[in-house]
A and B are shown apart, each in its own frame.
Chain A
Amino acid sequence: MSERDDDLITLLRADLADAARTTPREGFEMRMWDAAHGNPQQRRQRIGAHRLMGPALALATAAVLVAAISVGVSLRARHNQAPATTPPPVTRPTANPALRALTSKGMPSRTGFSLGWDPVSHRLLLFGGERRNGPPPNGLEVVYTQTWAWDGHAWSRLNTPAAPPYGVGTAMVVDPHVGRLMLVGGDHIGTSPSGGSWTWDGSAWHRLGRGADVPVQPNVGDLGSDPATGEVLVDGHIGDGSKSGAFAWDGSVWRGLGEPSPSEDLTSGTATLAYDPRSRRVLHIGGGTVAPVNRIDPTFAYDGNGWSRLPDSATAPDGAANSMTDDGGRVLLLTHKPGSPLDSPETAMFVWHESGWVRLHPAHLPPGLGPLVWDPDLHAAVLLTATTPSETVDGMWIWDGSDWRQVPVTLFPEAATSPTALG
């Protein structure tokens, strides 16, 4: 081969390498996943076909017809070859490089807080919590009524003129009626009364009227948002816990949803709710970690009229339900894996598919459990994990659609030690 040919091959390799490095549009892997797994709403329109028809439309009607017929045949063939059943939901890679740059500097270390994604400021919001030096119910050191926000890199404590009075026993979710975070419940060191209902405008808390006080005492996670009806759903225990009830908030009043209440079957008061965009229903699942057995309760669905218990299926998760969120397309569930220690639980992961739960086996799983929130900006689910017996949060994990990634964490150095409420 001559020197001239060597030069040509070198240039050619460089050009081909450039071509191979070309970056597709953001979300490429997700679109490919959707195409493969038969999500027609997500399937990308053919840009190429548009280009074929655009520039030469007037001059090439016949040729365009040929192209259209060709595309039509292709689509028909695609339709005819479609599998008889929808493929099961599985991991959905996003490969968002921004997720690798996330850090969690100054994360407030505590337990019993509520967590939500703020659609106004586009940040993760954390309210309240407590610090313990041992497993609940003992060992309480501090109760917080602080509000913290995470911007993807660092946590900041926000200066809020007013704040919900009780830092424990609250739950937070986006009120689809107004597009703001709503916080309900709250008790003081495990006792009633309720701390009322509050809304977050992006920079301050505002208490809603007395009529907005939630009729039940929710646990963290017992609150759900239903974009299909514009309602906030809650279920929980009334009074001393001997009764339970389910209610829906429509922006003005809490409406009792009657029987059945999904809380009635709860074995330990642990429950979690999430909206299923595919069926346009809210799912509810509960469970308990009452030693020595941890178990999961039936799955309920809310369709705008009331809760209904879904048939048990062979795909029911084992272990206790811990946290659940929707990722814009599916419902993700984390459970406490059966047989693992209560104070250092192993995690199992499931997604809801049509009428049952399907277990996922990602390459990595967080070593602990905690609140799970979907961040639409990151297009990822954020999990705060506790790996200590006192359930104090000390880790952050990101679900990118295909695997879990640990976010580097620096804990905020807490100074206060007295067992009093802190603002």
Chain B
Amino acid sequence: MARREGSDIVAVGDFDAVAIGQARRLYGLAFSILRDAGEAEDAVQETMVRAWRSWDSLRDEAARTGWLTRICVNHCLRRRSLMSRLPWPSGGREEVLPDASQPTPADPRQARLRDGFKRLSARQRAVLSLHYHHGYSLDESAALIGCRPGTARSHLARALATLREELDDVRA
């Protein structure tokens, strides 16, 4: 039973303020990795379920944002890995369904970059998103993904090379 003025309520309110308050940010991160609205929402939902179960055990309040990010990224990586193993009719890692939540850009280079993004692995996408949009250093990104810093740098370099190739095709 919850107590009226007790720590239960404080903890729950704290969860709502911190975790639910970050749901949109996590959704954006998940979408940038998965490029699928339904999958992104699944990822955030799974993050919330896991976060709620373990919320009380995380005593370091300052680390909660990173913790939520790590849960979300890890779920995205697992989902992406599962998706890539399935035999899509179109083959490979292409998205099966176009996602209306992100319209096609007018700039052909932007459109091409998005095509190139689909060729990236989930870890490569995660490193790009964490580093270039969410402001994490490469070392921090590595910790969130669960790999060594050198591996994260490798993911980044390969991802940029893939995207560069895609844009070079446009220029050519």
**Minimum C-beta distance from A315 to chain B (A):** 5
Chain A: minimal CB distance from B108 (Å): 11
- Whole-angstrom distance from the CB of B59 to the nearest CB of chain A? 18
For chain B, give the interface size range: 35 or more
Q: Which residues of A contact B20 (CB under 8 A)?
A: 29, 32-33, 36, 93, 402
Stretch from A239-247, A259-267, A353-361 forming part of the interface with B: A353-361
A32 touching B86 by the CB < 8 A rule?
no
A32 with B82: in contact, given A15-B114, A16-B128, A359-B5 (CB under 8 Å)? no
The answer for the CA separation of A16 and B120 in the assembled complex, in Å, is: 14
Q: Which residues of A contact B88 (CB under 8 A)?
A: 55-56
Is A25 touching B19 in the complex (CB atoms < 8 A)? no
Question: B160 near A5 (CB under 8 angstroms)?
Answer: yes
Closest to B48 in A: A36
Structural contact, B86 and A56, CB atoms closer than 8 A: yes
For residue B36, which residues in chain A have a CB less than 8 angstroms away from its CB? Answer: 48, 51
- When chains A and B are docked, how far (Å) is the Cα of A11 from the Cα of B24? 23
The answer to whether A24 and B27 have CB atoms under 8 Å apart is yes
Q: Is the CB of A90 within 8 A of B87?
A: no
Known: A20-B28, A28-B23, A60-B87. A43 touches B38 (CB 8 A): no
Which chain A residue shows the least CB distance to B117?
A: A15
Contact A32 B48 (CB under 8 A): yes
B101's closest neighbor in chain A, by CB? A22
Residue numbers in B under 8 Å from A11 (CB-CB): 109-110, 113, 167
A191 contacts B by Cβ under 8 Å: no
Give A2-55 interface residues, CB cut-off 8 Å to B: 4-5, 7-9, 11-25, 28-29, 31-33, 35-38, 43-44, 46-52, 55
Query: Is A83 interfacial (CB 8 A cutoff)?
Result: yes
Name the contact of B9 in the complex, choosing from A4, A35, A356, A361 (C-beta under 8 A). Answer: A361
A59 and B89 within 8 A (CB): yes
Q: Contacts A28-B27, A29-B23, A67-B82; is A46 near B102 (CB within 8 Å)?
A: no
Of B40, B82, B109, which one neighbours A24 at CB under 8 angstroms? B40
Q: Could you say which interface size class chain A belongs to?
A: 35 or more
How far does the Cβ of A12 sit from chain B's closest Cβ, in whole Å?
Answer: 6
Task: Name the distance in Å between B155's Cβ and chain A's nearest Cβ.
Answer: 14
- Any chain B CB within 8 A of the CB of A78? yes
Quick check: is B64 within 8 A (CB to CB) of the other chain? Answer: no
**Cβ of A305 < 8 Å from any Cβ of B?**
no
Q: How far is the CA of A14 from the CA of B27 in the complex (A)?
A: 17
Is A252 an interface residue when CB atoms closer than 8 A count as contact?
A: no
In the complex, the answer to whether A402 meets B16 with C-beta atoms within 8 Å is: yes
Structural contact, A20 and B29, CB atoms closer than 8 A: yes
**CB < 8 Å neighbour of B8 from A13, A35, A88:** A88
Answer yes or no: B139 CB below 8 A from chain A CBs. no
Bound: A210/B8 CA distance, A:
52
Contacts of B28 in A (CB 8 A): 19-22
> What are 7 pairs between A and B in contact, CB < 8 Å?
A15-B114, A22-B28, A28-B23, A29-B20, A33-B20, A90-B9, A360-B9
Task: Given contact pairs A4-B164, A32-B23, A93-B16, enumerate 4 new A-B contacts (beta carbons under 8 Å).
Answer: A16-B132, A19-B129, A32-B48, A50-B38
